[in-house]
Amino acid sequence: MPLSSLRVLELNEKYNLVEGLCEREQLNPEGIELELRVGRVEKIISGSFLGVKDRNSPETELIGDIADGEKIILMKPGDYLLVRTIEKINCPNKK
């Protein structure tokens, strides 16, 4: 079920859904969603497999990291990127 930004902020006080949310999003979110900030971007450069017993995570190549300062990242059609946000998302159990 989609939640509006205002509803997420309301629930955030009780359940801590989003940690590290910037002040702008906390005080004045624009539109109906919260915007998350990109922290680290990696390009997937090998295959992977996620089975019941066996698993093989893909190898990645670092494209950009916020620790390195601002950087423009160009995404092309067909690119698969792993994007880590600065914020931490928590998904509480449904009770």
* Shared-domain flag, residues 28 and 42: no
In a domain, 95, yes or no: no
Residue 59's pLDDT is what? 93
* Residues 8 and 43 reside in one and the same domain: no
Long-range contacts of 5-9 (CB under 8 A, 24+ apart): 5/29, 5/31, 5/32, 5/33, 5/34, 8/34, 9/34
Q: What is the pLDDT at residue 87?
A: 94
Contact 3, 11 (CB under 8 A): yes
Model pLDDT, residue 43: 92
CA dist., res. 16 & res. 35, Å (int):
16
Mean pLDDT by 10 residues, the chain (95 residues): 85 91 89 87 91 91 85 86 92 74
Instruction: Look at the chain and report how many structural domains it folds into.
Output: 2
pLDDT value for 20 = 93
Say what the pLDDT of residue 95 is: 60
Q: What is the pTM of this model?
A: 0.72
In a shared domain, residues 30 and 41: no
What are the CA-CA distances from residue 26 to residues 29, 43, 58, 95 (Å)? 7, 31, 35, 26
Q: Are residues 57 and 73 in the same domain?
A: yes
Expressed as residue numbers, the domain containing 14 is 1-35
